[in-house]
Amino acid sequence: MQGVGAAWLMVSFGAGPMYVALTQTASAFVHVMRHYEHVRRRDGASRWGLYRDTEVARRYLETFVVGSWAEHLRQHERLTQSDRKLEDHCRTLVRGEPKAQHFIDARL
């Protein structure tokens, strides 16, 4: 398999850069997420940000950019036990499951 994607767009594993956005609802997790930034950057994120929604007070958006779709898929495999503990702690501070969205560079 050369790539993945929706019916209207095939994405090759080498395509990039990738922009990943995760929407979370919580407030206490902001401090913990600042620690998680180091995990994202260590695993290849060239940019990372955490934004607060101006319309929904307790909703935040985490964003990060990685070099390719394949690089993003590898991030899922790289988590250490310490990373998983931090991720699990983050999840205890949010309601529901985070909504992940993936965006590919439009110049492709």
Instruction: Phi first, then psi: give them for residue 89, nearest 5 degrees.
Output: -65, -40
pLDDT tens digits for 17-43?
Answer: 666 666 665 656 788 888 899 999 999
Share of the chain above pLDDT 90, in %: 23
| C-alpha–C-alpha distance, residues 46 and 29, integer Å | 22
Instruction: Phi first, then psi: give them for residue 93, nearest 5 degrees.
Output: -100, 5
**Confidence (pLDDT) at 5:** 46
Supply the mean pLDDT for the chain: 80
Catalogue the E-assigned strands of the chain: 3-4, 11-12, 18-25, 47-52, 59-66, 99-104
Q: Domain 29-104: give its CATH architecture.
A: 2-Layer Sandwich (3.30)
What strands, in cross-sheet order, belong to the sheet with 99-104?
A: 47-52, 59-66, 18-25, 99-104
